[in-house]
Structure 1
């Protein structure tokens, strides 16, 4: 995580907390700073300073750890392959191995995290140096999160490693700098997608505090709140997640309109939390209304569309005694169609494809059990 707690006692810190004059390590107060100095910071201070000071030093360290985890996780898949950017098996400088976490098929899509990061860094720098405008910036910034070959977003530990790569690239810039702000968002998303949820929450809360402190727009604040709600759900704080989901959905509709992609994503997230709370009737009502809209606006193969249909099928067949035979049949049909589309668009290794397939197995089992039971209704 980024450095949001005291180095001595781990208490949460204000953004303007006192810090070491040389290496900028932050503390609650002078007492904690003196205590930390005696307990070993004296020996590390110069090294941290030479490494770019505390936040940069921490980001570089976490990045190396995240790359090692990603390379190990992808080892079986990348054996015998080469990087599509530098064409080498081992990175010439870092000696790191390969990763792949997108929808590329066959021998495509293998890369070093360092090569992916350097590619993104160069593309964004060209936009900044030549003042190419927001559209060019947004298109090139996507390289920090998505594959340049298949255009699909990376996921899991690969996305986490890229999040740390992005953060370490821009952390040294002023807090008001736009790439630094977006890099914090990339890091929070990467941590969450790799299931480092407590760390993700820490980053997201720091990002929300920063947005409010700098007077960010309502849309930007709502986006961060949506990410926090995602993390609340993943760590089991469901009532807090639902309250924030509902606030984000209503706020996003007000700011963006009902058919904007951000509003549709917020609605989908709201339905996800309703399912987790076993409020299946509310989830079904919401999704029945919005799935046709999402299919029309985003298309059948969009990730949000597929997640909506998956959640709708889940609400149908998990509704306990309220689920009819027709509900179970509709759930199976919906999941079969969604699984086929997800596998074609994202590949079998994508987390959403995997979740749809697991749900399909459960729905088929529930349908078989109901059809075999006396009465079958």
Structure 2
């Protein structure tokens, strides 16, 4: 459940409190709000429409999907002008009349698509894999179509990720709570909201995800994923100590359950290090990253975005530390120069991660210049002389 508030007064209801409309399942804190909504809030006119759409949760997801697609299309308008969808070959979607997006790492004339086409492609590919029992590896690869481009194989970002998150959630939300696709869709929605910086909404989704994961008796690994997602929302909202506590536990549990070379363990180390840097616990962050970056480079490769982020965070820990030495600053600049070149080649100059690495490089160079420039002599005379 993503609708966790009373439709009238916004009282927080969690996953089970309050009551629902018997016809459409709209949630209320009590009979008074339900009566007010029917008589004054227009629910008498909407109730049948909501029921026909599949209930309040489905109606809400459909509405949010349409809204976020419009936002994504507008955000991408300059980039997509004069282009066509690589899936349906049209500029406007034949049914929804929506425009195009990109939001990946494709360049030139590649990668333009309608969110509806991307969602339908992902849905069909996954259904085919399930129907033909193609195995977990194929399922995982096809699930990636909900968040990564099939052409450049990089994740979508920003508002495009958010639109695809709502597309994924509205596709699978009607399944049972313990269905893996429903759980994965909730994760995808939370990640999309996070990527579009709707952090309060993302937190609500991730709290619901974590609660459901525990209630249905999910595996230890699935619970670690839910905890990671929750920690990411705490981090984004500035609740750093809560984030750090969760991230520390996830990292050490991942080491124990999965080993240091598993992708989820590497990701958990990255999240833990990021919080350590933000809390200015630089020595701990540097120690962790010096141990983990070689593993990431060996297992994932230098071109992987997670490896790039880990090297970026490591350089940040070096140059933002008030006790940074000249050697630290030089290492930070060298690391960022190499990371920026790789990010620009792999992700493209317009990708937000590339832009953030470039900004860090400017700051590191400024810190290095300031450290290398000797302070003016107290007895220096005016260059013009008197």
What is the alpha-carbon distance in structure 2 between the residues aligned to residue 355 and residue 373 of structure 1? 29
What is the alpha-carbon distance in structure 2 between the residues aligned to residue 63 and residue 102 of structure 1? 19
The residue that corresponds to 1:52 in the other structure is 54
The residue that corresponds to 2:356 in the other structure is 355
Alignment TM-score, normalising by the size of structure 2: 0.94
For residue 14 of structure 1, report the CA deviation from its aligned partner: 4.2
Alignment TM-score, normalising by the size of structure 1: 0.96
- Contact preservation (8 Å) 1:306, 1:338: yes
Q: 5+ residue gaps in structure 2?
A: 377-386
For residue 329 of structure 1, report the CA deviation from its aligned partner: 0.5
Please, which of 257, 261, 264 is the counterpart of residue 262 of structure 1?
264
What is the alpha-carbon distance in structure 2 between the residues aligned to residue 108 and residue 46 of structure 1? 43
CA deviation map 1:261-282 (0-9, x unaligned): 1111111111101111111121
The residue that corresponds to 1:281 in the other structure is 283
The residue that corresponds to 1:337 in the other structure is 338
Q: How does 1:93-108 map to 2 (within 5 A)?
A: 93-108=95-110
The residue that corresponds to 1:312 in the other structure is 314
What is the alpha-carbon distance in structure 2 between the residues aligned to residue 30 and residue 257 of structure 1? 52
Q: Structure 1 residues 154-163 or 132-141, which shifts more?
A: 132-141
What is the alpha-carbon distance in structure 2 between the residues aligned to residue 6 and residue 131 of structure 1? 41
The residue that corresponds to 1:3 in the other structure is 3
The residue that corresponds to 1:243 in the other structure is 245
Q: Residue 88 of structure 1: SS of its match in structure 2?
A: coil
For the pair shown, which has the larger CA radius of gyration, 1 or 2? 2
The residue that corresponds to 1:38 in the other structure is 39
The residue that corresponds to 1:114 in the other structure is 116
For residue 30 of structure 1, report the CA deviation from its aligned partner: 3.2
For residue 4 of structure 1, report the CA deviation from its aligned partner: 1.5
CA RMSD, Structure 1 to Structure 2 (Å):
1.4
The residue that corresponds to 1:372 in the other structure is 373
Q: Residue 27 of structure 2: SS of its match in structure 1?
A: coil
CA deviation map 1:11-52 (0-9, x unaligned): 222434431111011223334323332332222211211222
What is the alpha-carbon distance in structure 2 between the residues aligned to residue 344 and residue 285 of structure 1? 28
- Contact preservation (8 Å) 2:6, 2:13: yes
The residue that corresponds to 2:199 in the other structure is 197
Q: Does residue 19 of the first structure (1) align with residue 20 of the second (2)?
A: yes
Q: Residue 9 of structure 2: SS of its match in structure 1?
A: coil
The residue that corresponds to 1:164 in the other structure is 166
Q: How does 1:113-262 map to 2 (within 5 A)?
A: 113-262=115-264
What is the alpha-carbon distance in structure 1 between the residues aligned to residue 14 and residue 196 of structure 2? 27
Q: Structure 1 residues 271-280 or 30-39, which shifts more?
A: 30-39
- Contact preservation (8 Å) 1:284, 1:315: yes
- Contact preservation (8 Å) 1:2, 1:58: no
CA deviation map 1:271-325 (0-9, x unaligned): 10111111112111111121112111111111111111101100111011x1111
Q: 5+ residue gaps in structure 1?
A: none
Q: Structure 1 residues 354-363 or 254-263, which shifts more?
A: 254-263
